């Protein structure tokens, strides 16, 4: 049921056309930040207005939309944005990565590989990878135009000189098709390899800074490094305590006062999917239904083990 007072997907057609033109320019020059006339949206700048505008410009009534934040469909901002689009466009929504045609994300790339025809829309706070080295926009624009990225490499050098390793763990800068240096949004560097040669179209929207950039399908994206200090997509050295996945990015959850902790997949759809087909982790059990898919969770599983502390059998209500 759409809100009749607004155009489909909230933005008027002129605005959508303007945004699409910017998207086309961005796709034509991968990694280059295209300025666009960002509109005032009903949610604050800094809370995803760029992503929302890009999604709104792309949506057609037949689309199936997934919205995630920190990898989860359930975090408050993802819920809020998903609700917004349901209200102003009436498109179907899903939590299943494989079923979605458009995925709007904040800070993560889904673990499930994307396929051709999907669009991944990233929310970007600061689009300029050089911003913290050079605060002036007039200067960074020139640096991109003239391919003057020495300063970026110097920063990485300084990290190694001081810490022994590159000290950037998220929003890790990348070189696109050997030309533009790009900020992939604050995804953990663990996700960087997924940027490259993806069958999906990846769009990046920065509302407050008024920039759109893009990675067309199958674009070569390389994380900046040194030959003798190569890029490492690291994550916590654990498996998911619920589904046992060894290769997915994990959230660390503190479970008791003593600092006991557990690790669970940040990608809730991925984790739930694995558990639905029987995978378990250290603290998951076969009988446990997947509480993140659908309503009406059954009684909690009685998991025990180190790190759970005295709360075995108790359901922790986490209202994010």
Partner 1 sequence: MTGPLLSVRGLTRTYGARIGCADVSFDLYPGEVLGIVGESGSGKSTLLSCLAGHQRPDAGAVLFRTAAGLTDTVTMAEPDRRRLARTDWAFVHQNPRDGLRMGVSAGGNVGERLMATGARHYGAIRDRATDWMGRVEIAADRIDDRPSAFSGGMQQRLQIARNLVTGPRLVFMDEPTGGLDVSVQARLLDLIRGLVRDLGLSVIIVTHDLAVVRLLAHRLMVMKSGRVVEAGLTDQVLDDPQHAYTQLLVSSILQV
Partner 2 sequence: MYVAVKGGERAIDNAHAFLAEERRGDPAVPELSVAQIREQMRLAVNRVMAEGSLYDPDLAALAIKQARGDLIEAVFLIRAYRTTLPRHGLSQPVDTAAMAVTRRVSATFKDAPGGQVLGPTFDYTHRLLDFALMAGGPDAPLPADAGTMPPVPHGGKEAPPSPLVGEGWGGGAPRMPHVTGFLNREGLIEPAPAGDDTPPDLTRSPMELPASRALRLQALARGDEGFLLSLAYSTQRGYGRTHAFVGELRIGMVEVEMDIPELGFAVPIGEIELTECETVNQFKGSRTEPPQFTRGYGLTFGQTERKALAMSLVDRALRWKELGEDFTGAPAQDEEFVLMHADNVQATGFLEHIKLPHYVDFQSETELIRRLRAEVLAQREAAE
Q: What is the DSSP string of 158-176?
A: HHHHHHSS----BS--EEE
Can you say whether the dihedral through the CA atoms of 141, 146, 152, 154 is positive or negative?
A: negative
- Which of the residues 214 through 253 are near partner 1 (CB under 8 A)? 225-229
State in angstroms the smallest separation of the CB of 115 from partner 2.
Answer: 24
> Quick one: what does residue 102 bind among partner 1, partner 2, none, with the CB cut-off 5 to 8 Å set by partner type?
none
State in angstroms the smallest separation of the CB of 285 from partner 2.
Answer: 9
> Quick one: what does residue 196 bind among partner 1, partner 2, none, with the CB cut-off 5 to 8 Å set by partner type?
none
Q: Which region among 16-24, 157-165, 238-246, 250-258 touches partner 1 (by CB under 8 A)?
A: 157-165
State in angstroms the smallest separation of the CB of 151 from partner 1.
Answer: 7
State in angstroms the smallest separation of the CB of 78 from partner 2.
Answer: 7
By the rule CB under 8 A, 161 interacts with partner 1? yes
By the rule CB under 8 A, 139 interacts with partner 1? no
The CA-atom distances, in angstroms, between 26 and each of 66, 219, 307 are 23, 13, 47
> Quick one: what does residue 80 bind among partner 1, partner 2, none, with the CB cut-off 5 to 8 Å set by partner type?
partner 2
Phi-psi region of 97 (alpha: psi -120 to 50; beta: other; left: phi over 0): alpha
* Catalytic site includes residue 58: no
Pick between residue 170 and residue 220 the one whose CB is nearest to partner 2: 170
By the rule CB under 8 A, 167 interacts with partner 1? no
* Catalytic site includes residue 240: yes
- How far, in Å, CA of 37 to CA of 16, rounded? 11
As beta bridge partners, residue 213 has 204
The CA-atom distances, in angstroms, between 142 and each of 32, 134, 145, 166 are 12, 11, 5, 26
Pick between residue 144 and residue 219 the one whose CB is nearest to partner 2: 144
The CA-atom distances, in angstroms, between 181 and each of 128, 154, 199, 269 are 9, 14, 21, 31
Q: Which of 48, 50, 271, 284 is catalytic?
A: 271
State in angstroms the smallest separation of the CB of 18 from partner 2.
Answer: 9
Instruction: Kindly report the length of the chain.
Output: 320
- How far, in Å, CA of 289 to CA of 35, rounded? 47
Binding residues for partner 1, rule: CB under 8 A, are 145-146, 148-151, 153-154, 157-158, 160-162, 225-229
Which residues are annotated as catalytic? 31, 240, 243, 265, 271
């Amino acid at each position: 049921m759409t809100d009749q007072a607004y155009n489909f997907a909230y933005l008027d057609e002129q605005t959508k056309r303007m945004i699409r033109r910017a998207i086309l320019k961005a796709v034509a020059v991968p990694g280059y930040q295209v300025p666009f006339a960002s509109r005032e949206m009903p949610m604050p700048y800094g809370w995803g207005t760029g992503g929302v505008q890009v999604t709104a410009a792309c949506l057609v009534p037949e689309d199936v939309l997934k919205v995630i934040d920190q990898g989860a469909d359930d975090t408050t901002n993802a819920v809020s944005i998903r609700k917004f689009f349901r209200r102003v466009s009436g498109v179907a929504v899903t939590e299943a990565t494989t079923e979605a045609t458009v995925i709007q994300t904040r800070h993560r790339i889904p673990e499930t590989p994307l396929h051709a025809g999907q669009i991944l829309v990233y929310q970007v706070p600061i689009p300029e990878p050089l911003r913290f080295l050079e605060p002036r926009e007039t200067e960074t624009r020139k640096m991109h135009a003239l391919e003057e990225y020495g300063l970026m490499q110097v920063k990485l050098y300084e990290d190694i000189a001081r810490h022994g390793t590159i000290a950037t763990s998220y929003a890790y800068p990348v070189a696109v098709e050997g030309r533009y240096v790009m900020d992939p949004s604050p995804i953990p560097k663990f996700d960087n390899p997924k940027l490259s040669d993806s069958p999906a179209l990846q769009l990046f929207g920065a509302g407050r800074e008024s920039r759109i950039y893009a990675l067309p399908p199958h674009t070569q994206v390389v994380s900046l490094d040194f030959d003798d200090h190569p890029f490492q997509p690291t994550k916590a050295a654990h498996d998911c305590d619920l589904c046992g996945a060894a290769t997915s990015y994990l959230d660390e959850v503190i479970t008791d006062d003593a600092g006991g902790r557990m690790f669970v997949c940040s990608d809730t759809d991925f984790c739930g999917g694995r558990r639905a087909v029987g995978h378990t982790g250290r603290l998951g059990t076969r009988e446990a239904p997947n509480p993140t898919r659908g309503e009406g969770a059954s009684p909690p599983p009685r998991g025990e083990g180190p790190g759970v502390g005295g709360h075995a059998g108790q359901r922790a209500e986490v209202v994010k």
